[in-house]
Amino acid sequence: MKGDTSKNSRRLIGLWLFGVAFMVFVMVVLGGLTRLTGSGLSMVDWRPITGWLPPLNEAQWQAIFDLYKQSPQFKEFNFDMDLDGFRGIFWLEFLHRLWGRLIGLAFGLPLLIFLLKGWIEKSMRLPLVGLFLLGGAQGVLGWYMVKSGLVDDPEVSQYRLMAHLGFAFILYSMLVWAGLSYYKGRQVRGLNGAALGLWGLGFVTILAGALVAGLDAGLTYNTFPLMDGDLIPNGLYSHSPAYLNHFENITTVQFQHRVLAVVTFILCLVYFACNRESRAAKAVALLVCVQATLGILTLLHSVPTALASLHQAFGLLLFSALTWLIFETRR
């Protein structure tokens, strides 16, 4: 009976971790939508403890709108916006921040209960508490990113955007891994190098995609596979020093994301061809095909909001499958 109780408690913890991971998934999609719709800079202050409620009356709405009027985004792009227009961009960013607070509660309160009940073994207490603290750090990093668009240029730094998105994907993957470990009840014996390599390649491709988003590089070279009529476009290293091209040159940033995406696509299919019995490999192969199609369509249609959001969502689904693949192929 005690063994059954232990097994049930581990499965409950696994389901809880999967639930938090799903909330992070929604959070990432919401974050992408705030950027695509220009809503991310609508809230020019950050009140992590007291910011649970939106403006509740006209005076509060006017006060927060007056703060927004001092921002570079309003002065350069939305100078003719009225209060009703401001409400339209405010609510999505407010929901994004509120959802982040709810994730903190959904993770922190059950974690405390499970710790008090003694359901979490000693080897996992520090990692799970650390994961909770890293989630808080992600919130700080998000505000650090937003602040870069509130000074002079109404665009957030592509470096900070890449860090924020990359950190979100890492946290999400850690939650999925922990959930699988508890739900399946197996310990790590060794990792499969090929699966781990695919995961790493996928992560680097995601970081490259964040740079594309940060520089709005998807709004240029809207053809595939050629860029301005060439397979390898001119101007890849027009910036000096040379390494800056990989982070600040729109041509190079889009080109490297294309190359990484194509390599990831090919290697995922090769891995599946060599491991057809693996359920995770099947999921990876299916999702990488969908993701590649969405990426090309997003580019060809000059980054419409719906396609771009789907592209990001399926990128996270693919990353989930890659994490599962590492878990499934452990020695």
Q: What string of DSSP letters covers 85-101?
A: HHHHHHHHHHHHHHHHH
**Alpha carbons 247 and 159: distance in angstroms, whole number:** 8
Model confidence over 226-277: pLDDT tens digits? 998 999 999 999 999 999 999 999 999 999 999 999 999 999 999 999 999 9
Among residues 268, 267, 273, the alpha carbon closest in space to that of 321 is found at 268
Residue 111: partners with Cβ closer than 8 Å, 6 or more residues away: 120, 128, 129, 132
pLDDT of 186 > 70? The answer is: no
**Alpha carbons 118 and 113: distance in angstroms, whole number:** 9
Read off the tokens for 331. Answer: 């020695």
pLDDT of 146 > 60? The answer is: yes
Model confidence over 75-133: pLDDT tens digits? 999 999 999 999 999 999 999 999 999 999 999 999 999 999 999 989 899 999 999 99
Residue 185: partners with Cβ closer than 8 Å, 6 or more residues away: 7, 10
Q: How do the domains of the chain map onto residue ranges?
A: 1-187, 191-331
To the nearest whole number, what is the mean pLDDT of the chain? 93
